[in-house]
Amino acid sequence: MTINEPLHTAVNGYGLGRFAPGRNENSSTETYIAAHHQLLAHAAAFSIYQCKYKEKQGGQVGLVVDCEWAEANSDKIEDKIAAARRLDFQLGWYLNPIYFGEYPEVMREILGDRLPKFTEEEKKLLKNSLDFIGLNHYTSRFIAYVKESPEESDFYKAQQMERIVEWEGGELIGEKGASEWLYVVPWGIRKVLKYIAQKYNNPPVYVTENGMDDEDNDTLPLHEMLNDKLRVIYYKGYLAAVAQAIKDGVDLRGYFAWSLLDNFEWAEGYTKRFGLVYVDYKNGLTRHPKSSAYWFLRFFKVDECKNGKSE
């Protein structure tokens, strides 16, 4: 995997300035320049591997993109178009140049000269420059069209949409994780996997990240931190949806839970815990399996029994 979540480097690193290198002075152009060069760097790495190492090593090279599923907030045509535009600004931004040789048409129309252009040589370098797609997926949103987006960055304003986390009756789209952006919406992963299969001719896909976080709270006793019931519910729902996507015909080759261990989470540091295993940062980094870790252990044993591999 050449680059992980290039969108976040481009948008949060060069647009909003939240992530390294913390730039936001020229967000209306630097965001797209950063993404452009990440794509070219990926394609160059793929080309070098194909020429020098593929025959000897037999490995595969992919790019890891991240995507919230965008569900139209209503049956109105403008909401449906806004949801499709949202997906183009997430997935199409990186995958269209690789599969079709150019950025999505809607991005070119809206951004104009702010969006860099590929030379013919670069298009050849980019075309089909991956063996698989890595997908990081955590959550989903309802998308409604708005002419003037309330979002703070140029990248989101350009999409002319509002991200909504409530059903029409006011109920949340799903239970909320610790991060302000994360809700438990299992049906979204099935939809995004089917979307990739339909739009990009069913390429091999690995779900390279999927999971949810708890808030770090050192005032709680350890046994309460280990009893992560919502994470168990999350994985049950999302894995069931992944299984449905496979039945739908999606060429899904593998699945990775994020994460094995509690870890340093972007700009949030150690305040968010995504791990199946609790890491005690104050006592020698000792590790304690959470309920979700034991759930996965039972899940694998059941799977082995179904396949006749259990002792």
- Residue 63 and residue 1: Cα distance in Å, rounded? 5
Other residues' Cβ atoms within 10 Å of the Cβ of residue 84? 17
CA distances from 120 to 48, 124, 177 (A): 19, 6, 45
pLDDT for the residue numbered 310: 47
* pLDDT band at residue 52 using 50, 70 and 90 as cut-offs: very high
User: What digits encode the pLDDT tens for the residues 240-282?
Assistant: 999 999 999 999 999 999 999 999 999 899 999 999 999 999 9
Bridge-based pairing of strands 286-289 and 277-280 is: antiparallel
User: What digits encode the pLDDT tens for the residues 159-196?
Assistant: 999 999 999 999 999 999 999 999 999 999 999 999 99
The rounded mean pLDDT for the chain is 95
User: Is residue 7 within 8 Å of residue 94, measured between CB atoms?
Assistant: yes
Mean pLDDT for the stretch of residues 145-153: 86
- Residue 138 and residue 237: Cα distance in Å, rounded? 12
Q: DSSP character for 261?
A: B
H helices of 140-228, in order, are: 154-157, 187-199, 222-226
User: Is residue 29 within 8 Å of residue 114, measured between CB atoms?
Assistant: yes
pLDDT for the residue numbered 224: 96
Q: DSSP character for 119?
A: -
Catalytic residue among 30, 71, 122, 209: 209
pTM for this structure? 0.95
**CA torsion angle for 162, 168, 169, 172 (degrees, to 10)?**
-50
- The residue among 179, 188, 157, 284 whose CA lies nearest residue 230 is 179
H helices of the chain, in order, are: 6-8, 14, 27-52, 54-57, 77-87, 93-100, 105-111, 120-126, 154-157, 187-199, 222-226, 229-247, 291-306
Catalytic residue among 5, 30, 71, 122: 5
* pLDDT band at residue 307 using 50, 70 and 90 as cut-offs: confident
Bridge-based pairing of strands 62-66 and 132-136 is: parallel
Does residue 309 have a pLDDT over 70? no
Residue 151: active-site member: no
Peptide bond into 259 cis (omega under 30): yes
* pLDDT band at residue 303 using 50, 70 and 90 as cut-offs: low
* pLDDT band at residue 79 using 50, 70 and 90 as cut-offs: very high
CA atoms lying within 13 Å on the CB side of residue 172: 11
Residue 121: active-site member: no
